[in-house]
Amino acid sequence: MSNRKIDRVEGTAIPVRGDNIDTDRIIPARFLKAITFDGLGEHVFEDDRIAFSGHPFSNPAYAGARLLLVNENFGSGSSREHAPQALKRWGIAACVGESFSEIFKGNALAIGLVCVTTSNEVIDRLMDLVETAPTSRLALSLNHRSIDAGDSTVSVDVEAPVRDAFLSGTWDATGLLLDDFDVVRGVASRVPYIRGF
Amino acid sequence: MGKTLLKKVWDLHTVRQLSTGQAQLFIGLHLIHEVTTPQAFDMLRSRGIGVAFPDRTFGTTDHIIPTGDTSRPFQDPLAEAMLSALEKNCAEFDIPFWNLDSDRQGIVHVIGPELGLTQPGMTVACGDSHTSTHGALGAVALGVGTSQVRDVLASQSLAIDPLKVRRIAVNGELGRGVFAKDVVLEIIHRLGVNGGVGYAYEYGGTAVERMSIDERLTICNMSIEGGARVGYVNPDQTTFEYLKGRQFAPAGDAFDRAVSWWRSIASDTDADYDDVVEIDAAAIEPRVTWGINPGQSVAVSECIPSIGGGAQNGGVSEALAFMGLTGGERITGTKIDVAFVGSCTNSRLSDLREAGRIAKGRSVAPHVTALVVPGSRSVQFAAEEEGLDQVFRDAGFEWRNAGCSMCLAMNPDRLEGSQVCASSSNRNFKGRQGSPTGRTLLMSPAMVAAAAVAGEVTDVRGHFA
């Protein structure tokens, strides 16, 4: 199964400062009480936004942002895919951070939300830039592993296979996993607890 | 050089290397619940794909169910819709399902081991980050998101990045009043909430080897709080004795043959680890979190860190401001409003016994609301059989039906306003227990019971009869 190929993500960017921002904060559990992902976008960071009226996701200057700038271990905690779904439905197409939790990154990949990493210094500089001038446009290129930010270009990291999956449109794994399904059956038949002890 | 359990299990279950660089890993046991699956089934339907191995998937309901009045339809129409969707999906795709009226129902990470579904050498997946719990039996258990639940339903396999292995050896004797919960809080404090990213944690050492399966489940459960998606303990005699006679465990001669295979998949004594950490069990004290992530804990005898000091987990000032605590003050004496014994971390019979030992003959402080929520119907019945429900009721605790309850407050059990909760659960994130300004102090079940009685955080070691 082939999906949309993703190379460039261009647009304005929204900064959310802080390490270890967990998925309960990105989308509180009460919004998981639904049988679809519809409407999650409007509740992204809801409790943080109530607690802090100056939250970037409440700031009209960042409306329409396509890139999210974060610090370390973003998306830790609960495995809820609702977190990347909420960000994506709000309009985010790529997250640029110092690091991401593993489950968050896997969930993001599975729904075609790009996550790339870079150094603390670069993140800080990009955050400063868009805090000072929210209309600044950034252009992420997976192909070049870089972000153009005004008159400077910074490099970003992304695992080669993940980059390939986005570039080739194979980030939705279901098709790959179902390819030549007899091989899966073969594994099932050799596993002792299925074959029988 | 020998191999780790992770490597052996990984190799056995690898279907192929995918073009994405990930491995396609066969999943031996898939557990599902109502919160992370409805969209996965809808995706299957919209793509016209069926469930590949319905007999390797098992469902139950735990997150959204009330623990008081469980009559249907639920008062909360959203919760009712979620359970109805799971009922319909399990029926449509022939998936075994333990509903609310089943005596097998319970928190997915409690019933998997309890029924003998989880076994050594298996790969386990579930749309829940605390799937790491199942590693206590020597399984490789992975928490996944909804799209990956879809993938497991469709193909009984997952696309996944390889993991490194860090052995965490806890050696020596734990002191009285120090529990598995304290050990794992110590580990997370020491290695950090993102220290385990990219790793599976292998727990060993003499202290872990002496632990019961319940205690190992508590430790593996919170691997994810340390950033490690997978945590496991090598299977041993304790594991085999635990599994013997359980509903889904092999029986008769097959059990003996299973044991010899289970032994063979344990890490070799000369296994190659990417990292090794040693921890002295005797130095661990009962621990309490003071902040907004599970790495922010202190020993109960210690003071809350000051801003600028002990900042290894970062965000100290933000955490103290949210918690309304003052750096430099003792954690003991922190007043609580609610006490919660429950969650996939600490809701098994042995947890309830330890809490009951403290509660017995005492009374919950007048200003405290205290509740005990067993992890499963089976735990609930066993506890009632030995009179633990009465011990708790006599002390002023509410005795509830099984479920996830106030760990994440997707049911009616939740904090109000800025209440402070002494909790045996796993996460002290902002808003985790249902009120955006609610505050959580993580600790062992015995420490929760002691706090309930004292009305404030107190050292459980002073409360033994």
ipTM confidence: 0.95
Q: Give how far the C-alpha of residue B334 lies from the chain's centroid of Cα atoms, to the nearest Å.
A: 25
* Model pLDDT for residues B396-431, shown as the tens digit of each residue: 999 999 999 999 999 999 999 999 999 999 999 999
High-pLDDT (> 90) share of chain A, %:
92
Q: Which residues of B touch A161 (CB under 8 A)?
A: 18-22
DSSP at B435: S
Mutate one of A187, A189, A194 to test the B interface: name it (highest B CB count within 10 A). A187
CA distance B287 to B186: 7
Contact A20 B24 (CB under 8 A): no
Cβ distance B27 to B10 under 8 Å?
A: no
Half-sphere exposure in the Cβ direction for B10 (13 Å, CA): 19
A190 part of a folded domain = no
Report DSSP letters for B146-166, one per residue: HHHHHHHHHHSEEEE---EEE
pLDDT at B313: 46
pLDDT at B308: 64
Amino acid at B343: S
Cβ distance B232 to B202 under 8 Å?
A: yes
A23 part of a folded domain = yes
pLDDT of B310 higher than 50: no
Q: Which residues of B touch A101 (CB under 8 A)?
A: 194, 197, 227
Give the tokens for residue B190: 């020491």
pLDDT of A182 higher than 50: yes
Provide the number of structural domains found in chain A.
1
Contact status of B121 with chain A (Cβ, < 8 Å): yes
The owner of tokens 């103290």 is: B320
What is the CATH classification number for the domain harbouring A164? Answer: 3.20.19.10
CA distance B414 to B338: 10
A84 part of a folded domain = yes
The owner of tokens 């009120």 is: B435
Q: What average pLDDT is seen over chain B?
A: 96
What mean pLDDT comes out for the span B373-386? 98
Q: Cis peptide before B120, with omega less than 30 degrees from 0?
A: no
CA angle, A44 then A49 then A55, to 5°: 105
Give the tokens for residue B182: 């304290």
pLDDT of A20 higher than 80: yes
Contact status of B193 with chain A (Cβ, < 8 Å): yes
pLDDT at A30: 95
Q: Which residues of A touch B78 (CB under 8 A)?
A: 33-34
A50 part of a folded domain = yes
pLDDT at B58: 98
Give the tokens for residue A116: 């790339």
DSSP at A194: H
CA distance from start to end of chain A: 37
Give the C-alpha distances (Å, rounded to integers) separating B280 from B168, B173, B214, B284.
11, 8, 21, 7
Contact B155 A174 (CB under 8 A): yes
Contact A29 B409 (CB under 8 A): yes
A56 part of a folded domain = yes
A28 part of a folded domain = yes
Q: Coil, helix or strand for B303?
A: strand
Nearest to B424 by CA among B402, B440, B400: B440
Cβ distance B422 to B451 under 8 Å?
A: yes
Bridge partners, A24 (sequence order): none
High-pLDDT (> 70) share of chain B, %:
98
Would you place residue B20 in the very low, low, confident or very high pLDDT band (cuts 50, 70, 90)?
confident
Would you place residue A150 in the very low, low, confident or very high pLDDT band (cuts 50, 70, 90)?
confident
> What domains are defined for chain B?
5-160 (3.30.499.10), 164-283 (3.40.1060.10), 287-462 (3.30.499.10)
Would you place residue B311 in the very low, low, confident or very high pLDDT band (cuts 50, 70, 90)?
very low
What mean pLDDT comes out for the span B31-43? 97
CA distance B97 to B227: 31
Residue B325 vs residue A1, higher pLDDT: B325
pLDDT at B270: 97
A178 part of a folded domain = no
* Model pLDDT for residues A60-96, shown as the tens digit of each residue: 999 999 999 999 999 999 999 999 999 999 999 999 9
Nearest to B449 by CA among B352, B358, B374, B383: B358
Would you place residue A151 in the very low, low, confident or very high pLDDT band (cuts 50, 70, 90)?
confident
* Model pLDDT for residues B120-150, shown as the tens digit of each residue: 999 999 999 999 999 999 999 999 999 999 9
A131 part of a folded domain = yes
* Model pLDDT for residues B365-377, shown as the tens digit of each residue: 999 999 999 999 9
Its domain, for residue A112, covers 8-170
Q: Coil, helix or strand for B304?
A: coil
Would you place residue B314 in the very low, low, confident or very high pLDDT band (cuts 50, 70, 90)?
low
Would you place residue A111 in the very low, low, confident or very high pLDDT band (cuts 50, 70, 90)?
very high
Q: Which residues of B touch A37 (CB under 8 A)?
A: 39
Among the partner residues A32, A160, A165, nearest to B410 by beta-carbon distance = A32
Nearest to B73 by CA among B89, B88, B33, B82: B82
pLDDT at A2: 58
Among the partner residues A37, A102, A165, nearest to B20 by beta-carbon distance = A165
Contact status of B19 with chain A (Cβ, < 8 Å): yes
pLDDT at B205: 98
Give the tokens for residue A181: 């399904």
Element (H, E) at A45: none
What mean pLDDT comes out for the span B277-306? 97
